[in-house]
Amino acid sequence: MVQKHGDEIQVVYRHFPLNSIHDKAQIAAEAAEAAGAQGAFWEMHDLLFTNQQLMNQQDLETYRETLVGFAEQLGLDVDRFRKDLVDGTYKGKVEQATQAAMELGLGGTPTIFINGQFWQGPRDLYIFEAILELEKLRSRQYAEAPPVKIDPEKQYVATF
């Protein structure tokens, strides 16, 4: 949708690492932010998602090195990336997003909001395309019915 409608939509990503389920979810979210600081958030996001099984298979230090390997694979400044992870540069940002999600009562991921409204419907490209088209037509909708103008000199016939 972003590729097709990038000038019409905005995707806002908020982290909600489920730390009680995935003990390395926090560091993965921080890695995405560290990559984002170098212009590669979505590329890192995609690598993390594609390789999410490593989160459960590796201990923390091994996984941290895997993340650094992803940064290298993406052509990032690896020293800066590693420093961001070690220093916890984005830890607060991820924790704030997590707290906001909890305050909204979110229970899991992914959670989708459309124009500030929680979306519980199907997560299908065709549905989102239809929603976008409806939103584009919203400005053409009447807020109220136009005034009725009856000409007493005319005869009106309704056919049902």
What ranges do the domains of the chain cover? Answer: 11-112
What's the Cα-to-Cα distance from 115 to each of 9, 43, 109, 131, 140, rounded to whole Å?
10, 25, 18, 11, 18
d(CA 2, CA 6): 4
pLDDT at 76: 98
pLDDT at 2: 81
* Residue 112 dihedral angles phi and psi, to the nearest 5°: -120, 135
Q: How many CA atoms lie within 13 A of 8 on its CB side?
A: 13
> Which two three-digit tokens encode residue 154?
């005319």
Closest CA to 14 of 39, 38, 59, 45: 45
pLDDT at 109: 84
pLDDT at 18: 86
pLDDT at 71: 98
pLDDT at 142: 84
d(CA 60, CA 26): 11
Q: Which residue has the tokens 């020293």?
A: 79
11-112 CATH choice from 3.30.70.1560, 3.40.109.10, 3.40.30.10, 3.30.230.80: 3.40.30.10
Chunked mean pLDDT (size 10), the chain, 160 residues: 85 87 94 98 96 92 96 98 97 94 86 87 91 88 86 90
Q: What angle do CA 11, 27, 98 make, to 5 degrees?
A: 55
